[in-house]
């Protein structure tokens, strides 16, 4: 019984001590002023060191993705009409960057399945069917999916320079009543 | 244990580890802000603008927080700021795993790894170290004279 009371007193003392330390650190006006100084300084440095990028952003350069044209020249984003034209005139090979199961549920007719996850896992075999000079149109599920962009970056670094990303993706393709293949 | 977390050399070691990690992480991001902006965007929680602003400012917060923690300018504020960031990163990775999104964490620029359970564990270890620095009364080293805490 006595040891129980002693333990309880110890816990109580620790809690009081902890409460004091928390009060001195987190609920301390000076700490928050110091944090504000660090954040303001960071914002200032972030603006000063990235003035060029900010200007480019305001000019509308990174509306679709954060890709620098200097690093990936020739990599372009295309809209639905452009994708439809390339598809109907057979001017490009369409690549589905979604998973194999999503591809099997439905895809743009003639599209080749190259799931990004497979490439990232190191499966290079699936890239061998592509010829570098061919124009490639890469798409994924919908507008905010990033697999087409990431696959495009990988393909670009492997020498495929004629790349287009259809940012509307599969969702836009079927919503506009275009043909599908299963 | 109480002795250890009050030991100035132990606390100095923790400051070097936590500060060093954040400085390293920040430098890799500052070197390639566009790549980091895309990493932030890949989490699918923010739009283009917020991802862009995060890529501009977050690395500098990490850099100054880490640097200040090591050299002793606002050591407690830096420890609190870095603890807050680590808590946010843990929550972000957990949410990403729950949502079933497989992305690169973007933690160390181009040498980042996938978001998985081990990343949460790793961040939790850094968070514990950072919290020790935040609450330890021994973490009083200041480059300039520290004012009395009220």
Q: Are A42 and B61 in contact (CB < 8 Å)?
A: yes
* pLDDT > 80? residue A6: no
Tell me, yes or no, whether A80 and A142 share the same domain. yes
Tell me, yes or no, whether A82 and A40 share the same domain. no
Q: Smallest Cα–Cα separation from B51: which of B41, B36, B62, B61?
A: B41
Tell me, yes or no, whether A36 and A80 share the same domain. no
- pLDDT tens digits, residue range A42-78? 999 999 999 999 998 998 888 777 877 777 777 888 8
Q: Are B41 and A65 in contact (CB < 8 Å)?
A: yes
In a domain, A122, yes or no: yes
Closest residue in A to B102 (Cα–Cα): A117
- Would you list the DSSP string of A25-92? HTT-HHHHHHHHHHHHHHHHHHHHHTHHHHHHHHTTTTSS----TTTSTT-EEE-HHHHHHHHHTT-S
Tell me, yes or no, whether A166 and A84 share the same domain. yes
Number of domains observed in the structure of chain A: 2
Q: Are B75 and B139 in contact (CB under 8 A)?
A: yes
Contacts of B41 in chain A (CB under 8 A): 65-66, 146
Q: Are B38 and A26 in contact (CB < 8 Å)?
A: no
Is the ipTM reported for this complex over the cut 0.95? no
Tell me, yes or no, whether A86 and A40 share the same domain. no
Domain that holds residue A21: 2-49
Nearest-Cα distance to chain B for A89, in Å, is 33
Tell me, yes or no, whether A167 and A82 share the same domain. yes
Q: Are B51 and B40 in contact (CB under 8 A)?
A: yes
Q: Are B44 and A146 in contact (CB < 8 Å)?
A: yes
Burial class (CB in 10 A: 0-12, 13-18, 19+), A54: middle
- For the whole prediction, is pTM greater than 0.90? no
In a domain, A62, yes or no: no
Q: How far apart are CA A93 and CA A87, in angstroms?
A: 8
Mutate to test the interface with A, among B36, B40, B76 (most CBs of A within 10 A): B76
* pLDDT > 50? residue B150: no
Closest residue in A to B74 (Cα–Cα): A34
Mutate to test the interface with A, among B41, B47, B77, B138 (most CBs of A within 10 A): B77
In a domain, A117, yes or no: yes
Whole-Å CA distances, A97 to A60, A147, A148? 26, 6, 6
Q: Are A25 and B78 in contact (CB < 8 Å)?
A: no
Residues of B with CB under 8 A from a CB of A: 30, 33-35, 37-38, 41-42, 44, 48, 51-52, 55-57, 59-61, 63-65, 68, 74, 76-78, 80-81, 102-103, 134-135, 137, 147, 149-150
Q: Compute the half-sphere exposure of residue B104: CA atoms within 13 Å on the CB side of its CA.
A: 20
Tell me, yes or no, whether A44 and A120 share the same domain. no
CATH number for the domain harbouring residue A167: 3.40.250.10
Contacts of B61 in chain A (CB under 8 A): 38-39, 42
Higher confidence at residue A20 or residue B120?
B120
Contacts of A22 in chain B (CB under 8 A): 135
Helix (H, G, I), strand (E, B) or coil at A93: strand
Cα B92 from chain centroid (whole Å):
13
Q: Are B40 and B46 in contact (CB under 8 A)?
A: yes
Tell me, yes or no, whether A80 and A140 share the same domain. yes
Tell me, yes or no, whether A34 and A118 share the same domain. no
CB atoms closer than 10 angstroms to residue B143: 12
Q: Are A46 and B48 in contact (CB < 8 Å)?
A: no
Contacts of B38 in chain A (CB under 8 A): 65-67, 146, 149
β-sheet bridge partners, residue A77: A165
- pLDDT tens digits, residue range A68-112? 777 777 788 888 999 999 999 999 999 999 989 999 999 999 999
Q: How far apart are CA A112 and CA A95, in angstroms?
A: 5
In a domain, A34, yes or no: yes
Tell me, yes or no, whether A121 and A42 share the same domain. no
- pLDDT tens digits, residue range A107-138? 999 999 999 888 888 887 888 777 767 789 99
Tell me, yes or no, whether A80 and A170 share the same domain. yes
Q: Compute the half-sphere exposure of residue B109: CA atoms within 13 Å on the CB side of its CA.
A: 16
The C-alpha torsion from A132 through A137 and A141 to A143, rounded to 10°, is: 120
Tell me A165's DSSP state: E
- pLDDT tens digits, residue range B44-66? 888 889 999 999 999 999 999 99
Closest residue in B to A62 (Cα–Cα): B48
In a domain, A71, yes or no: no
Q: How far apart are CA A58 and CA A74, in angstroms?
A: 21
Tell me, yes or no, whether A87 and A33 share the same domain. no
């Amino acid at each position: 019984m006595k040891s129980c009371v002693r333990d309880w007193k110890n816990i109580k003392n620790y809690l009081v001590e902890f409460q004091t330390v928390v009060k001195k650190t987190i609920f301390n006006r000076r700490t928050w002023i110091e944090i504000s100084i660090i954040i303001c300084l960071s914002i200032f440095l972030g603006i000063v060191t990235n003035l060029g990028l900010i200007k480019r952003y305001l000019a509308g350069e990174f509306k679709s993705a954060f890709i620098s044209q200097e690093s990936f020249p020739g990599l372009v984003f295309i809209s639905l009409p452009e994708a439809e034209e390339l598809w109907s005139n057979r001017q490009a090979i369409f690549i589905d960057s979604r998973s194999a199961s999503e591809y099997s549920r439905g895809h743009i007719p003639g599209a080749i399945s190259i799931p990004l996850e497979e490439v990232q896992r190191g499966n290079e075999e699936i890239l061998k069917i592509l010829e570098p000079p061919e124009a490639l149109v890469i798409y994924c599920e919908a507008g905010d999916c990033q697999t087409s962009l990431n696959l495009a970056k990988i393909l670009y670094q492997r020498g495929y320079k004629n790349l287009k990303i259809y940012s509307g993706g599969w969702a836009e393709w079927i919503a506009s009543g275009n043909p599908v293949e299963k | 244990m109480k002795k250890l977390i009050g030991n100035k050399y132990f606390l100095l070691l923790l400051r070097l580890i936590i500060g060093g990690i954040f400085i390293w992480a920040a430098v890799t991001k500052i070197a390639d802000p566009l790549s980091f902006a895309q990493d932030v965007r890949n989490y699918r929680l923010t739009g283009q603008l917020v991802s862009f602003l995060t890529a501009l400012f977050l690395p500098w917060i990490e850099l100054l927080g880490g640097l200040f923690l090591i050299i002793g300018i606002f050591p407690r504020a830096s420890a609190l700021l870095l603890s807050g960031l680590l808590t946010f990163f843990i929550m972000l990775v957990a949410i990403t795993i729950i949502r079933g999104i497989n992305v690169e964490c973007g933690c160390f620029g181009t040498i980042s790894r996938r978001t998985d359970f081990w990343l949460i564990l790793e961040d939790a270890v850094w968070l514990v170290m950072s919290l020790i620095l935040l609450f330890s009364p021994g973490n009083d080293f200041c480059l300039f004279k520290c004012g009395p805490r009220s």
